[in-house]
Amino acid sequence: MSGKSLLLKVILLGDGGVGKSSLMNRYVTNKFDSQAFHTIGVEFLNRDLEVDGRFVTLQIWDTAGQERFKSLRTPFYRGADCCLLTFSVDDRQSFENLSSWQKEFVYYADVKDPEHFPFVVLGNKIDKLERQVSTEEAQAWCMENGNYPYLETSAKDDTNVAVAFEEAVRQVLAVEEQLEHCMLGHTIDLHSSSKSGSSCC
Ligand SMILES: Nc1nc2c(ncn2[C@@H]2O[C@H](COP(=O)(O)OP(=O)(O)OP(=O)(O)O)[C@@H](O)[C@H]2O)c(=O)[nH]1
Ligand SMILES: [Mg+2]
């Protein structure tokens, strides 16, 4: 366990109106606004947390989902440690657009190894009674597109919101640990004549 705080940048992407700002505000300020305005460009808020003994400052970047704001949001994708792909369970189109959000992120963040990048998928507004996307369907999409964790949230009722951001941190830490493990493997490999230890990267 390290006492040093780690700064992690996570970015919320998804169609306009799915609840990205509401999720960030619920998590950081514990408030919910039923008349929230659309975001223009990007905004960010920080929250400190501890996950599995690691102290983390989470820098949450909330982006404008409306198409007309694309050029304002994309410059902020670079350097993100995790991407939260968000849709609303009562809006089928927002679910069908997840692939384009994923592609937009990979392109503008210039992700070198998309297969190993930590994405987390959030199905928000589960407090709503009329759903257009089932849990099973969303889970299937996550399995097929990179085995991403899937969480169902409600910013309104504060369901799974903290769990979702903690999962984002866990995903980043897991990738980091894997990299450290690989580097250690290579160090050992360099100092020994055996080729074992270079298998994970
Ligand atoms: N019932 C319900 N409404 C929600 C929930 N989350 C957000 N909303 C409402 O949905 C609307 C849109 O929420 P926002 O958080 O502004 O959506 P956004 O994804 O940030 O939208 P853009 O900024 O345009 O990209 C607002 O009226 C919110 O009050 C939720 O979990 N349940
Ligand atoms: Mg917003």
| Helix H or strand E segment including 12 | strand 6-13
Is 102 domain-assigned?
A: yes
CATH number of the domain that residue 110 is part of? 3.40.50.300
pLDDT for residue 176? 80
| pLDDT given for residue 200 in this prediction | 44
Position 194 pLDDT exceeds 60: no
**Average of per-residue pLDDT values in the chain:** 91
In a domain, 191, yes or no: no
| Residue that wins the pLDDT comparison between 14 and 197 | 14
Return the pLDDT at 95.
Answer: 98
Distance 83 CA to ligand 1 centre (A): 18
3-state SS assignment for residue 57 = strand
Lowest-confidence range among 25-29, 74-78, 160-164, 193-197? 193-197
For the chain, the domain total comes to 1
Instruction: Give residue 197's pLDDT band: very low, low, confident or very high (50, 70, 90).
Output: very low
Residue 93 placed within a domain: yes
- Return the axis-axis angle of helices 20-29 and 161-191, rounded to nearest 10°: 90
Distant-in-sequence, close-in-space partners of 55: CB < 8 Å, separation ≥ 6: 2, 3, 4, 5, 6, 48, 49
Asked whether residue 197 is domain-assigned, the answer is no
Confidence of residue 184 (pLDDT cuts 50, 70, 90): low
Residue 171 has pLDDT above 80, yes or no: yes
Region 86-114 average pLDDT? 97
Cα separation, 188 vs 199, whole angstroms: 12
Is 195 part of a structural domain of the chain?
Answer: no
ipTM summary value: 0.99
Q: Each residue of 112-145: b (16+ CB within 10 Å) or e?
A: eeeeebbbbbbbbbbeeeebebeeeebbebbeee
Distance CA 183, CA 134 (A): 41
The binding-site residues of ligand 1, defined as CB within 6 angstroms of any ligand atom, are 16-22, 33-34, 36, 38-39, 64-66, 124-125, 127-128, 154-156
Q: Is residue 198 over pLDDT 70? A: no
194 belongs to a structural domain? no
Please compute the mean of the pLDDT values over residues 69-87 and round it to a whole number.
97
Structural domain containing residue 31: 6-185
Pick the ligand that lies closest to the CA of residue 160: 1
Residues 132-157 have a mean pLDDT of 98
Q: Determine the Cα–Cα distance for residues 103 and 70; give it in Å rounded to an integer.
A: 13
Structural domain contains residue 201: no
Cα of 11 vs centre of ligand 2, distance in Å, is 12
**Residue 51 within a domain:** yes
Give the Cα separation of 196 and 198 in Å (integer).
6
Nearest atom in ligand 1 to 35's CA: 27
Q: Biggest alpha carbon distance in the chain?
A: 65
